[in-house]
Structure 1
Amino acid sequence: MNVAEKTSKGLSRVYEVTVPAADLDKRLSAKIEEIRPQVRLKGFRPGKVPAAHIRKMFGTSIMGDILQELVPQTTQELLEERKLRPANQPNVDVKSDAEEVLKEGKDFTFEVSLEVMPDFETIDAKTLKIEKPVAPVADEQVEEALGELAQQTRSYESRKKGAKAQEGDKLVIDFVGKIDGEAFQGGSAEDAELVLGSGQFIPGFEDQLVGAKAGDEVEVKVTFPEDYQAKQLAGKEAVFETTVKDVQAPAETRIDDDLAKNFGLSDLGALKEALKGRFETEHKQASRLKVKRQILDQLDEAHKEIDLPSGMVEQEFAQIWAQVEEAKKKGELEPEDQDKSDDELKTEYRAIAERRVRLGLVLAEMGRVARVEVSQEELARAVNQEASRFPGQERQVVDYFQKNPQALQSLRAPIYEEKVIDYILELADVTEKQVDRETLFEEEDEEAAEKKAAKKSSKKAAAKKAPAKKKAEASGDEPAKKPAKKSAAKKEEDEAPAKSEAKKPAKKAPAKKASAKKD
């Protein structure tokens, strides 16, 4: 093949690839000879159809198949010969037609357009100075948690006959909900347990039962919230015909060995150790997060001059902006964003997109140089961990990741990222600073910290690019956890799907398979 570089601007490259007609004719003849023994045509003995006749009858179709195979093959050869590292999937534009190539003996020509990864040297990890916050677990923290556990496991005892229900009491009730006098689906229950003041039921329901006695029949009148999850009930007025069957007062719960045994532990000391261990893990995770943000900020500051592949930035920005627009539709835009114009928001979120892409490139390069790899065992553990989130659907989840490379990449990326961070921490100058728990968990919101870093970065440099982490999410028909059914009297609880956050390391993109025909 003959390759001519047509365009080289920044990171953009356009190559014209020409495969001579003589080469194509040889490929066609070889292909005909390969299939000739299997060709069956009326009037010819099996396997004895002349090559010229096959060429005449099926030449165009065979040539189309050849070109279909030739395009990705030669594109890959081009990448390897020129030592190109694509930043995105190469775009192939076929200029020739299979019939013209066959009948008129023309050369086959197509163009390959792509952006290449920028060449740059990363900062020496040894020059990074990191302050690691550490917070010991205080005895008061453990005691507070014990109090909460005691509250959660407290028992209740029936009050004396005729006693009125108070805030904090538990009622055992039957109820039937009606709208315009008609009972509605999901609005009834028997022997339902309700702790007054817990906020378990929709607003106004519990308040009207304070002062009720066992045996009372109460008409509880409420209005469903406008954003109630059951759309047919949203904003509707309802009456719940409620029978109070029992009024129970909270019994005193002791913080002792018996409390520990309720949680399957031997004694109170073991329970305290378990709580302390849980808090130590939480503190380590929070400390790791703050250390990681320091690393990302310093890496961003040190690599502002990197040329960013525009395609990667546009793709990242498109994903972010789609989330912003979805939040706007649902009225869930962040308070600080609500009064901003679209242009202002786009400027801010494009800075975040650029930050993510930049840091993705930097971490990928540092990992490449350090030969960081994600093993199959690590990837298998990640798949199994993800599958465990969907009880009863584990097999479907595993199959989903096995059949979707992009989804599997979304699990690989955060593992790769954390291993690169570990590598950096081994070399960086890290000092510990003792802080309290509140300080350790300040500014834990990922997006807020990211936007803050992006704004600070964009003000500092004319490089106008701001960094952070690259989010990778599985796409396609991912199995979803089926939500449990709730009584219509209960308040809606929104469950946000978990997201996998990571930068995608640089990888070689395979050549795009192209049709041999022009559009």
Structure 2
Amino acid sequence: MQVRETKAEGLKREIEIVVPASDLEARLQTRLYEIKDQVKLKGFRPGKVPMSHMRKSYGRSVMAEIVNQIINETPRSVIAERNERSAMQPEIQMTEDEGEAEKVLRGESDFRFTVAYETLPSFDLKETDGIKIERPVVEIGDDEVEDQVKRIAESARTYQPKDGAAENGDRVTMDFVGKVDGEAFQGGSAEDSNLVLGSGQFIPGFEDQLVGVKAGDEKTVNVKFPEDYGAAHLAGKDAEFAVTVKAVAAPDAMELDDELAKKLGLESIARLREIVRGQIESQFGQATRQKVKRQLLDQLDAEYSFELPEKLVEAEFNNIWNQVSRELEQSGKSFEDEDTTEEKARAEYRKLAERRVRLGLVLSEIGEKAGVTVSDEELQRAVIDQVRQYPGQEQQVYDYFRKTPEAIQSLRAPIYEEKVVDHLLSTVAVTDKTVSKDELMKDDEDELSSAA
């Protein structure tokens, strides 16, 4: 086999591989001999078929198998021998001339093909002793817990029908039809909808206009959608709702006691408070983790600069762009609604793709040097978590992951990244800083900038 490099520009490589016809012939003879005892041809006893007949009957199909094997195995071994790592699956190019291809399958010609790929960049890892992380933490007070318990109690609150006019705190059951510019819009109509007045669940001004209504009343409610409303085609628009009040109910007294807990399937109010505190701690803990990780990745990103494989960047950009496009479509918004243009957005998301690829390579190298691995048990737990998200389809989802290596890899990557982040956090300076709940929960400017 002959190997010749035909391109070496930056990270791009192209090599030509030639497998002589004599090598192909030797492989063919070996393979035909291996299957000789399995072949059954009329007029010959098993294992007694002459090689000339074997070649005439099976030579072409066996040679096709050999060619496929060479294509599947040789590029990987050649790249490894060159002490290189391909960033993505190499591209194989071979003759499109049917006559030349037929000669190869008949063993009359050398098999010649090229392998094009980009190598992963090599870079030196830098010391992490200069990285300093400020970990934001929130002290969870009893008031925070009590507020959450009250919200839970409100959701479990019971109501009794009343004959009088609706007041704030009362629940109104109604049918309504909403229109903008005289036309009904999707999601603007409902039947037997329950609304607690003063809860702030509907468009600003809607609930205020229902104060004083009684069962059987029909009322026209005029409101204006907020300028920042999620559905762009409704944002800032005037709307008219035709409301039919079907019932008004007053709330029962709300007691934060063991009886409330028992309604929720718990033994006591103390147990409810314990669970709520744990949920708040988990919520705040996740927010803290995100901000700590963001600081770490920002500092790593500032430390490294090297050439990136173009195809890796392009693949990552396409993933991001598809996500952005889906979100815009679902919200009914455009780039203009976001005060930008598609051209500017593409440039920004291209930078984000480059950041993700660069950080992914850095974290991978750090993890490899530190001996970070993902165990089969961790992968199995990740698969189970995915399966649980599709009740009724558990077996199909499990079979999908079992049969699809790429899907398993998609689960492995984030687990590996988090373990590398944990390793790094154990080696850098981390100091705690007490912050308010609002400060902790404030969204970063661009949460997409994670390396994942």
Whether the TM-score (by the shorter chain) exceeds 0.5 is yes
Taking a change above 3 Å as real, the CA distance of residues 398 and 202 of structure 1, as seen in their structure-2 partners, is: farther
Cα displacement (A) at 1:353: 0.5
- State the shift of 1:221 in Å: 9.2
Q: Single out whichever of 29-38 and 397-406 deviates more from structure 2.
A: 29-38
Match of 1:135 among 118, 135, 138: 138
**Is the Cα–Cα contact under 8 Å of residues 209 and 218 in structure 1 kept in the other structure?**
no
**Amino acid of the structure 2 residue aligned with 1:254:** E
Q: Name the counterpart of 1:473.
A: none
* CA positional deviation for 1:202: 9.4
- Pairwise CA distance, 1:204: 9.9
Counterpart of 1:155 (choices 158, 166, 170) is: 158
Q: Normalising by the residue count of structure 1, what TM-score does the alignment of the two structures yield?
A: 0.73
Q: For residues 196-211 of structure 1, what are the structure 2 equivalents within 5 Å?
A: 196=197, 211=212
Q: How has the CA–CA distance of structure 1 residues 220 and 407 changed in structure 2, closer, same or farther, with 3 Å as cutoff?
A: farther
Task: Give the secondary structure class of the aligned counterpart of 2:373.
Answer: coil
Map residues 418-497 of structure 1 onto 2, 5 A cutoff.
Answer: 418-444=418-444, 446-447=446-447, 450=449, 468-469=450-451
- Correspondence list, 1:114-513, <5 A: 114-159=117-162, 161=163, 163-171=164-172, 193-196=194-197, 211-214=212-215, 216=216, 218=218, 244=246, 246-304=247-305, 306-329=306-329, 331-333=332-334, 338-444=338-444, 446-447=446-447, 450=449, 468-469=450-451, 502=452
Amino acid at match of 1:287: T
Runs of 5+ consecutive residues of structure 2 not aligned to the other structure: 180-188, 232-238
Distance 1:323 1:201, change over 3 A: same
Tell me how far 1:354 sits from its aligned partner. Answer: 0.2
Q: CA deviation at 1:426?
A: 0.9
Q: Which stretch shifts more, 11-20 or 416-425?
A: 11-20
Counterpart of 2:315 in structure 1: which amino acid? Q
- In 1, distance between residues paired with 2:13 and 2:416? 29
CA 129–196 in structure 1, closer or farther in 2 if over 3 Å, else same: closer
- 1:420-441 deviation line (CA, Å, top 9, x unaligned): 0110011111111222222222
Give the 3 Å change call, closer, same or farther, for CA 203–383 of structure 1 in structure 2. Answer: same
Question: Partner residue of 1:6?
Answer: 6
Question: What is the aligned partner in structure 2 of residue 69 from structure 1?
Answer: 69
Q: Separation in 2 of the partners of 1:432 and 1:200?
A: 37
CA drift at 1:89 = 0.3
Return 110-119 or 148-157, whichever deviates more.
Answer: 148-157
Deviation at 1:268, TM superposition (A): 3.5
2:428 and 2:416 map into 1 onto residues whose CA distance is: 18
Identical-pair percentage: 44
Q: Which has the higher contact order (CA 8 A, sep 6+)?
A: 1
Give the secondary structure class of the aligned counterpart of 2:85: coil
Q: How many residues align?
A: 431
How far the C-alpha of 1:334 sits from its partner, in A, is 6.7
Q: Distance in 2 between matches of 1:444 and 1:102?
A: 60
2:25–2:107: 8 Å Cα contact kept in structure 1?
no
| Cα distance in 1 between the residues matched to 2:20 and 2:87 | 29
* 1:45 Cα deviation from its structure 2 partner: 5.2
Give SS of 2:431's match: strand
Q: Report what 1:106 is aligned to.
A: 109
The AA in structure 2 aligned to 1:100 is K
CA displacement 1:15-63 (0-9 Å, x = unmatched): 1111122111111112222333344445555554432233234433322
The CA distance in 2 between the partners of 1:166 and 1:139, in whole Å, is 31
Paired with 1:176 and 1:137, the residues of 2 have a C-alpha distance of: 41
The 10-residue stretch of structure 1 (406-415 or 321-330) with the greater mean CA deviation from structure 2: 321-330
1:483 aligned partner = none
Amino acid at match of 2:71: V
Query: How far, CA to CA, are the matches of 2:105 and 2:437 in structure 1?
Result: 75
> Residue 189 of structure 1: CA displacement?
6.2
Q: Distance in 1 between matches of 2:271 and 2:159?
A: 26
Q: Please name the residue that 1:462 is paired with.
A: none
Contact kept, 8 Å, 1:63 with 1:98, in 2: the verdict is no
Match of 1:474 in 2: none
Partner of 1:141, secondary structure, is: helix
Give SS of 2:386's match. helix
Q: Secondary structure at the match of 2:37?
A: helix
8 Å contact kept, 1:308–1:354: yes
Specify the code of the residue in structure 1 equivalent to 2:278.
Answer: G
1:80/1:442 Cα in 2 relative to 1: closer, same or farther (>3 Å)?
same
Q: Residue 137 of structure 2 contacts residue 435 of structure 2 at CA under 8 Å; is this kept in 1? A: yes
Query: What's the C-alpha RMSD, in Å, of the aligned pairs?
Result: 3.6
Report the equivalent of 1:512.
none
C-alpha contact 2:328 2:334 (8 A) present in aligned 1: yes
When normalised by structure 2's length, the TM-score is 0.83
| In structure 1, distance between residues paired with 2:335 and 2:199 | 28
Secondary structure at 1:249's aligned position in 2? strand
* Structure 1 stretch displaced more, 128-137 or 338-347: 338-347
- What SS does the corresponding residue of 1:76 show, helix, strand or coil? helix
